[in-house]
Amino acid sequence: MRRFLPLTVEEARGDLDVILVTGDAYVDHPSWGVAAIGRWLEAHGFSVGIIAQPDWTNPESFRALGRPRLFFGVTAGNMDSMVNRYTASRRLRTDDAYAPGGEVGRRPDRATIAYTSRCKQAYPGVPVIAGGIEASLRRLVHFDFWQEKMRGSILLDAKADLLVYGMGELQVVEIARRLAAGKTIAECRDIHGVAYALGMKETRPEACETVIELPSLEECQADPLAFNRVTMLMYRESNPSCGRTLTQRHGTRWVVQNPAMRSLTTEEMDRLHELPYAGLAHPCYRQPIPALESIKGSITVNRGCSGGCSFCALTIHQGKDVVSRSTESVLRELKQMTERPDFNGIVSDLGGPTANMFHMRCMSEEANKICRRVSCLHPVRCKHYGTDHKPYLSLLRQARAMPGVKRVFVNSGIRYDLASLDDEFVEELAKYHVQGQLSVAPEHAATAALNKMRKPEIKYFTAFMERFRKANAEAGKPQFLVPYFQCAHPGVGPEECIELALYMKREKLRPRQVQMFMPTPATLATAMYVSGVDPYTKEPVYVARGARERNRQRALLFYWKKEEAPHVREALIAWGRADLIGDGPNHLVPPGPAWPSWQDKARRDANTRYDTHMGMKIERASREEEQEERWEAVAALGVSG
């Protein structure tokens, strides 16, 4: 059995070079950032230990592995800790997929700040480096939805010595090499893909052709349009080939962000995923880790996304350039999977953030070196972007032909506008690689909303849906699409919400899940939410604010549910569209009481106190919201399954 990275002094058997602290339970799998970073460091000659889900109130928990020789590496985990703990309605979640048994309360709010503080308290003088998605997306001024306020760089709140943004493998190894060679943490500040805070007496880099001064924290707090400019520049300067250094003032301090680190090569991706992972949760856990259960039998084939959707942080964290493993590497991992005693012949997913972007890339090296586009696909597909599905089709064909493999499914996201460009992909997908249902994310139907989301027009989804249905009929398979739609996104007002509901009725779509937009750090949609203005077009954007308006939109997309009918009627009346209440084919909901009168009736019928009834409703909504948001959380991680 493959060994795990040490969690205890006994397992470590000596001093460690690097200790990684994480808000997740330790699962030795490449989809867990802390495992990937730990194994990558180990492969480059450094000894590594992990402190998983420590007691953040007690410094002793951070002394569990002794004093690291080089540095502490701190991550909140595979998810931003606030997204992990709260729903889009700011309610506490009832489970944590990255904790044993799904137990909640195993990590604090803004875990990076708490963990960094305790590391410094446990061993003063040891460098602490923050990383992971929480630190990466909060490296500069950012909007905190849970406090409804603008916050400064997490570097200053956490007092970390250095922040690694992006996926981080190349940065952490270079930092470890320099510190092992006797250099100081200050001598690591020139590494690409890191950010750092200057001391009170340090001189900031002057603005020039290679250095851009961003609007300050105070300017962003006073003027949302300044925050728009910060967000836009973060994206414009995210290309490793042409990105410039960004500086930002926070009171009397300065934060400096170096240009992005280059992406891994295919060879490096192969090496990373073929390191000796155990593929299991550490034996110390007596209960299963839900997130591991969801990806068992899956293999990640790529990372990054060229789509650049406004609400998604994949582009700014993993990169716009998709990096894919070689077909040979994926097949080697699959062969190892078939040799496991518990393998049942089913590959649950062969994918990534966007599965059919496997080996899709910019076909012009010269154009890519100077590209500042947020998306390769919006508003129109770049002429240099390659859309060849042959590499992915070849991989799928070889995978399903491997001895011991019965079925190979694709459960990752599919970019349907790209899929429609290939003559074979949709038909082969339907015939061999769908497990009864295929999830896709059109997000909306209204053109105005889709433009703000940076998603393709609904006609592309409609065409894909028709082609998929036809392919199922030809294959003799009763399979169906599961579309994900989103409400309350900036640019989605009553008119757009009604347009989506009517489209759903016309196409006979009754999705089980509707995502309510959550403004998360470092996305373009969050900048629009804060300012009410599109950062690029400078046009005003409708923003649904407050629980009432956001919940109206959510209810309308479940117009077909009997229990939502009073809420739908209330929304339609409030929006001046009572004409959509009736029994005809062009109506959304039958006549009946709207929410206020229904509320009184429910109180009388139940013969209970109103607040008790509402408490029950809120509790149920929380559980539903957790399920409805889970898909986006998985996509944001860049894991398959």
User: Residue 537 is encoded by which pair of tokens?
Assistant: 């077009």
Residue 307 phi, psi (nearest 5): -75, -40
Task: Summarize the confidence of residues 115-142 as an average pLDDT.
Answer: 98
Task: Summarize the confidence of residues 508-534 as an average pLDDT.
Answer: 94
Task: Summarize the confidence of residues 204-218 as an average pLDDT.
Answer: 94
In the chain, CATH 3.40.50.280 covers 9-196
393 and 332 Cβ atoms separated by less than 8 Å: no
Residue at 325: amino acid letter: R
pLDDT digits (tens, 9 = 90+) for 297-354: 999 999 999 999 999 999 999 999 999 999 999 999 999 999 998 899 999 999 999 9
Q: Band of the pLDDT at 2, cuts 50, 70, 90? A: low
Given CATH 3.40.50.280, say whether it is the number of domain 9-196. Answer: yes
- Rounded to an integer, what distance in angstroms lies between the CA atom of residue 359 and that of residue 348? 21
- Higher confidence at residue 545 or residue 612? 545
**Nearest CA-CA partner of 79 in 61, 50, 99, 64:** 99
* Res 342: pLDDT: 87
pLDDT digits (tens, 9 = 90+) for 525-584: 999 999 999 999 999 999 999 889 999 999 999 999 999 999 999 999 999 999 999 999
- Fold for domain 296-605+622-637? pyruvate-formate lyase- activating enzyme (3.80.30)
DSSP state for residue 445 in the 8-state scheme? S
Residue at 427: amino acid letter: E
Q: Band of the pLDDT at 625, cuts 50, 70, 90? A: very low
* Res 119: pLDDT: 98
- Higher confidence at residue 13 or residue 625? 13
SS3 274: coil
Distance of CA 314 to the CA centre of its chain: 6
* Res 624: pLDDT: 45
What percent of the chain has a predicted confidence (pLDDT) above 70? Answer: 93
Q: Band of the pLDDT at 634, cuts 50, 70, 90? A: very low
SS3 234: helix
* Residues 391/392/395/399 CA torsion (nearest 10 deg): -170
* Res 631: pLDDT: 36
Task: Summarize the confidence of residues 2-10 as an average pLDDT.
Answer: 91
79 has a pLDDT exceeding 60 = yes
In the chain, CATH 3.80.30.20 covers 296-605+622-637
Task: Kindly report the average pLDDT of the chain as a whole number.
Answer: 91
Q: Band of the pLDDT at 379, cuts 50, 70, 90? A: very high
